[in-house]
């Protein structure tokens, strides 16, 4: 296995803001997800397996970020709606 090649691929995906989630990796497959970033030439089964594990970690991080963002926006939305309703009742 070419560990440096795998490492460089993972670092590149972090650099270009890897945007997939775990469902993409499962549904599309590791090869198709990698093709979305230009493909990386021929990879052994072992390299693909390691990449799949690494991409799952990145994808899970994306899902946590999205959930946190939604939670933050939900709080903002609820606050905005509460303020709007309160303002309306003051009239």
Q: Where are the domains of the chain?
A: 3-90
Percentage of the chain exceeding pLDDT 70? 79
Other beta carbons within 10 Å of 64: 10
pLDDT tens track for 41-64 = 899 999 999 999 999 999 998 888
Confidence (pLDDT) at 73: 66
Confidence (pLDDT) at 91: 45
Q: Which residues of the chain have pLDDT under 50?
A: 89-91
Q: DSSP assignment, residue 48? A: H
What are the tokens at 28? Answer: 């599309």
Q: DSSP assignment, residue 37? A: T
pTM of the predicted protein model: 0.69
């Amino acid at each position: 296995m070419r560990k440096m090649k795998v490492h460089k691929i993972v670092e590149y995906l972090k650099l270009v803001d890897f945007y997939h989630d775990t469902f993409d990796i499962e549904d599309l497959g590791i090869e198709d997800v990698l093709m979305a970033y230009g493909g990386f030439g021929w990879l052994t089964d072992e390299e693909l397996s390691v990449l799949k594990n690494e991409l799952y970690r990145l994808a899970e991080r994306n899902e946590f970020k999205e959930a946190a963002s939604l939670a933050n926006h939900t709080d903002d939305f609820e606050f905005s709606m509460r303020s709007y309703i309160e303002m309306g009742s003051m009239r």
